[in-house]
Amino acid sequence: MAGPVYTAQMTETSHPETRIADALPDHWADRVLPGALRPYARLMRLERPIGWWLLLLPCWWGLTLGQIAYGGGTPNPWYAFLFLLGAIIMRGAGCTLNDIADRNFDGRVERTRLRPIPAGQVSVRQAFAFLILLCLLGLVILLQFNWFTVATGAASLVIVAVYPFMKRITYWPQAVLGLAFNWGALVGWESIHGSLSLAPVLLYAGGVSWTLAYDTIYAHQDKEDDALIGLKSTALKFGDKSIWWLALFFALALALIDAATWLAGGSIIAHVGIAAAAMQAAWQLARFQPDNGARCLELFRSNRIFGLIITLGFLLDSLLT
């Protein structure tokens, strides 16, 4: 079932009904970009920056914790900037692939029916061409790092490629998303050390558990539509027991990240940062309402704060000790 067709020249300000759900109102991409480019910005979810934040933060965790293990000091600012660009571009590539794979479902879900492909703003062929361009740009960024990092980064594409199809076959697509979205924890560490050890692996595992928490919250927005069209999610699997699973996922994430910090030689500063992130997670749990879509979106977006708190703790530890 196809969604309604809108032209690329429509803007969010002149036609509010064309604004995709979750998008920030009056975002610069809709105000500044020419009309022909706006559908591609929407394919990348530029007007929904929380996605690239959640992809970026594990990269910065790996970079800053790796610097702590290296003896402290200032993490490489050029690497931090490359991770920022890479997160924006590769998140855009992942979303484009997801939209291509889900084009026959998105038009049947209220939250996604105005995405560029079901809305008729971008053809599947155009989306494929755009996906190739984004992947090439991502490769250029990845090649700035050492070869061990390049190989590890390229390996993540396997997980990225299979993720869009997981919601058709398993109630745990959030776990696969976690495997993809937290790969940067490994890459960030490797950019400094050129190798892996137990600390970044634990950091990665903690990130996967964190994704299971925040993306389960996010999935509660779509659970009714997903059930109707036969898609699966942890929100549907857990149902009214979701709060207990969220508590478990957050607790496991924090424990694994703290263990990684201890193995990397982190000081009390980093551990205090993790404790502060635990308080933010507790705030999310206290406010969680599984049947309140607006609240779920608010809590999902707040995970940028959770991730930044941990990043700040690692950074201060590296700089001060």
Burial of 28 (0-12, 13-18, 19+ CB in 10 A): exposed
Give the whole-number percent of the chain exceeding pLDDT 70. 88
Higher pLDDT, 165 or 202: 202
More confident residue, 317 or 25: 317
CA angle 243, 248, 252 (to 5 degrees): 150
Please choose, from the candidates 140, 173, 172, 164, the residue with its C-alpha nearest in 3D space to the C-alpha of residue 154.
Answer: 140
Q: pLDDT tens digits, residue range 86-111?
A: 999 999 999 999 889 878 776 666 66
pLDDT number for residue 31 = 74
Residue where the block lists tokens 């998105």: 106
* Per-residue confidence (pLDDT) for residue 229, from 0 to 100: 83
Model confidence at 20, in pLDDT bands (50, 70, 90)?
low
CA distance 293 to 30: 24
Averaged pLDDT, 154-158: 93
CA distance 306 to 206: 13
User: Position of tokens 């604004």?
Assistant: 19
The closest alpha carbon to 313, from 251, 86, 321, belongs to: 321
Q: Tokens at residue 255, please? A: 């424990």
Q: Is the pLDDT of residue 263 over 80?
A: yes
Q: pLDDT (tens digit, 9 = 90+) per residue, 200-243?
A: 999 999 999 999 999 999 999 988 888 888 889 999 999 999 99
Query: Which among 152, 139, 156 is positioned nearest to 82, based on CA atoms?
Result: 139
CA 279, CA 267: separation in Å to the nearest integer?
19
Mean residue pLDDT across the chain: 89
Nearest residue to 51 via CA among 143, 173, 180, 159: 180
pLDDT classification of 74: cutoffs 50, 70, 90:
very high
- Rounded distance between C-alpha atoms, residue 271 and residue 187, angstroms: 22
Q: In the predicted model, is pLDDT for residue 9 greater than 50? A: no
Question: Is 26 within 8 Å of 33 (Cβ atoms)?
Answer: no
Give me the amino acid identity at 208.
Answer: V
Q: Output the pLDDT for position 225.
A: 81
Average pLDDT over residues 278-305: 97
Domains and CATH numbers, the chain: 16-320 (1.10.357.140)
